[in-house]
A and B are shown apart, each in its own frame.
Chain A
């Protein structure tokens, strides 16, 4: 049997693909355990995600936040930063963005939308940068701080929308039966791009973000520093890169993308915010970035897969009464296979591949660490 040699192809395509297949196989076992027919269930999942009326448009609707969040996390991973706080950054981005969105009135769409978007990204940036500062200055691990900041973000949203001690929140809309913010101004709503569906302009924004983030990582000084820090902090420092600054900036950009996901979701779909708006997108996105091997281009198919799972699950449950929670099993097992590529390599009889390296010149590497 011939062994593969093209390293990048194996690690970027084959391993994730095999992980997806393995994830679905594990899911099939769960479906059987639940007393249903896996082929029928997956058939309905596929129909619900792609072939039913408006199904593909809805899949893309679900894909939009996943792309932006996945890009943010992938960017962080490249700098060696494991940002678990995307969910919280999503909330804060939605909060700051929706505030601008409902505060401005009567301006043209090409001013209101960017204003709300920028506000959302700024909110996400600032929120994530807190974890970045803590990491850079005190060494506090970003996994811990960013996950704790999630709870702070939920509670901030809760306080601002639901209020506390019997007083309504300051961002709550008047005369609504359940606490939520006012609707954003008409000019800040993302236009629908496929009539009769909910698919909004956010899709284009997400698609534009992919090459932008790729360019940022691969072709700019910031991206170079980010990769260098991710590769080896000591070496990066020796090469004259401010590791602290890079960490804060990377966390910030990662958070800005998560914040963008939050506000795009609000501007495109609900047009207002409640205190439970995210419901796990930020955590799903960790799996997406892992599946994409932290490659911005890889985020696109990975996000599409998760969007399809998210969207198809409802129809699958309708048709087969297999709980929509099943897709969590598929996603979880898929992550295990992605995170443990050794298993997949072993299954596929592949050789270990050397770790991808950052391009740092010989001179920089040899500079003594100070």
Chain B
């Protein structure tokens, strides 16, 4: 009878946990209308530590802001054929706005926006030539945080050689980061010699080849580089790992990577951040406040869409005059008196 007991035990356990299952969040009752906002990820899903994740941070921020009355939900796509379907799932549930993430959802998002003029759509990191009035393309000026991080690297390098381990050259944000970084470094340190490499097209390993990235970092370090900028998902992360192993400095990308990679903390001087969450939250806010903006919406230093990350452990090692220089550059980039020299 032991086996029977085991089976019924398993069932009982499942039922028990079912009975005391979790609770779902709700919006405050003071809202006259609740705005339902859905997010559809690309196949990188929420665990990409990149824009899918960060867009969701923005959605959650909007949801927990009591002045917005937003109820958010997300669907992670498991295959390409799911994009249109997952958007439709939200439409069927009468969602007011749908946030999609990445160029892979470009076609599906445009079509859904055309077919559903009453619903607002925002797509992260993608632009169209023409937009229906219910669609916004959220893009970020990656060259600005790249320039700032490069400026810092130019001030901190002792060898005057810096390296950038990048993802695919065919993906514009990657190039914007790299060019901004190099221009920034040359701005503060005309003697600096930047080395960069873009990952060759590798199919499944696009943005996901840390071994290759690490190897490139080691090569750059062999050529004298003492700061490595990793730009390109796990490929770039491999570059950070290489820099850390060799006791060199590194620069993270997209998010404050210091927080995501505790084992690499001693190498981070900063991260070139793209605040996708701010862009998403702003777009949602625009919907709620009735100030919806369609078309390409650019996020930059001025509207808090990009940023230079904290110095963290290097804070005490960076001189006050260096910090002042960075601050000055930031101000000038913001007011437009200084350009990164990168054309989008």
A-side interface residues toward B, CB under 8 Å?
22, 25, 28-29, 31-32, 34-40, 48, 52-54, 58, 61, 151, 154-155, 157-159, 162-166, 177-178, 198, 265, 269-270, 274-281, 310-311, 313-315, 317-321, 323-325, 346-347, 349
**Does B92 interact with chain A (Cβ within 8 Å)?**
yes
By beta carbon, the residue of chain B nearest A310 is: B78
Contact of A37 among B22, B45, B89, B92 (CB under 8 A): B22
Q: Is A25 a contact of B75 with CB atoms below 8 Å?
A: no
Q: Is A349 a contact of B89 with CB atoms below 8 Å?
A: no
Contact of A274 among B4, B46, B80 (CB under 8 A): B80
28 contacts between A and B (CB under 8 A): A25-B11, A28-B18, A31-B21, A38-B14, A61-B81, A61-B85, A154-B203, A155-B203, A158-B202, A158-B203, A159-B201, A177-B126, A177-B128, A178-B103, A269-B81, A277-B81, A279-B78, A280-B79, A310-B78, A315-B89, A317-B74, A318-B75, A323-B46, A324-B77, A325-B45, A325-B76, A349-B3, A349-B4
A280: chain B residues at CB < 8 Å are 78-79
Contact of B201 among A29, A36, A164, A320 (CB under 8 A): A164
Given contacts A52-B92, A159-B201, contact A32 B103 (CB under 8 A): no
Q: Is B86 a contact of A314 with CB atoms below 8 Å?
A: yes
Q: Report the Cα distance A38→B82, complex, angstroms.
A: 24
Q: Report the Cα distance A319→B72, complex, angstroms.
A: 10
Contact of B18 among A38, A48, A155, A162 (CB under 8 A): A38
Q: Is B103 a contact of A163 with CB atoms below 8 Å?
A: no
Q: Is B203 a contact of A157 with CB atoms below 8 Å?
A: yes
Q: Is A320 a contact of B24 with CB atoms below 8 Å?
A: yes
Q: Report the Cα distance A36→B18, complex, angstroms.
A: 8
Q: Is A151 a contact of B14 with CB atoms below 8 Å?
A: no
CB proximity of A142 to chain B, nearest CB, Å: 21
**Does B260 interact with chain A (Cβ within 8 Å)?**
no
**Does B344 interact with chain A (Cβ within 8 Å)?**
no
**B23-44 CB contacts (< 8 Å) to partner A:** 24, 38, 43
Apart from A158-B201, A270-B80: 16 A-B pairs, beta carbons within 8 A: A22-B10, A32-B22, A38-B17, A38-B18, A48-B89, A158-B202, A177-B106, A178-B103, A178-B107, A274-B104, A279-B80, A280-B79, A281-B79, A315-B89, A323-B45, A324-B76
Q: Is A318 a contact of B103 with CB atoms below 8 Å?
A: no
By beta carbon, the residue of chain B nearest A309 is: B78
A349: chain B residues at CB < 8 Å are 3-4
Q: Report the Cα distance A321→B170, complex, angstroms.
A: 34
Q: Is B22 a contact of A313 with CB atoms below 8 Å?
A: no
**B161-212 CB contacts (< 8 Å) to partner A:** 169-170, 200-204
B24: chain A residues at CB < 8 Å are 36, 320-321
CB proximity of B47 to chain A, nearest CB, Å: 8
Contact of B82 among A53, A314, A319, A325 (CB under 8 A): A314
Number of A-B contacts (CB under 8 A): 130
**Does B90 interact with chain A (Cβ within 8 Å)?**
yes
Q: Report the Cα distance A84→B128, complex, angstroms.
A: 40
Q: Report the Cα distance A280→B80, complex, angstroms.
A: 11
By beta carbon, the residue of chain A nearest B200 is: A164
Q: Report the Cα distance A274→B105, complex, angstroms.
A: 12
Q: Is A313 a contact of B43 with CB atoms below 8 Å?
A: no
Q: Report the Cα distance A165→B107, complex, angstroms.
A: 26
B74: chain A residues at CB < 8 Å are 317-318, 321
Given contacts A162-B170, A318-B89, contact A270 B81 (CB under 8 A): yes
**Does B287 interact with chain A (Cβ within 8 Å)?**
no
CB proximity of A299 to chain B, nearest CB, Å: 20
A155: chain B residues at CB < 8 Å are 202-203
CB proximity of B57 to chain A, nearest CB, Å: 14
Q: Is A321 a contact of B14 with CB atoms below 8 Å?
A: no
Interface bits B60-75 vs A (CB < 8 Å: 1, else 0): 0000000000000111
**Does B93 interact with chain A (Cβ within 8 Å)?**
yes
Q: Report the Cα distance A100→B86, complex, angstroms.
A: 30
Q: Report the Cα distance A36→B22, complex, angstroms.
A: 4
Given contacts A154-B203, A321-B24, contact A28 B46 (CB under 8 A): no
Q: Is A38 a contact of B21 with CB atoms below 8 Å?
A: yes
Q: Report the Cα distance A319→B169, complex, angstroms.
A: 39
Contact of B103 among A29, A61, A177, A311 (CB under 8 A): A177
Q: Report the Cα distance A53→B6, complex, angstroms.
A: 39
By beta carbon, the residue of chain A nearest B46 is: A323
CB proximity of B41 to chain A, nearest CB, Å: 9
Q: Report the Cα distance A281→B18, complex, angstroms.
A: 30
Q: Report the Cα distance A299→B197, complex, angstroms.
A: 48
10 closest A-B pairs by CB: A37-B21, A279-B79, A158-B203, A32-B17, A35-B22, A154-B203, A28-B14, A39-B18, A314-B75, A36-B22
By beta carbon, the residue of chain A nearest B84 is: A198
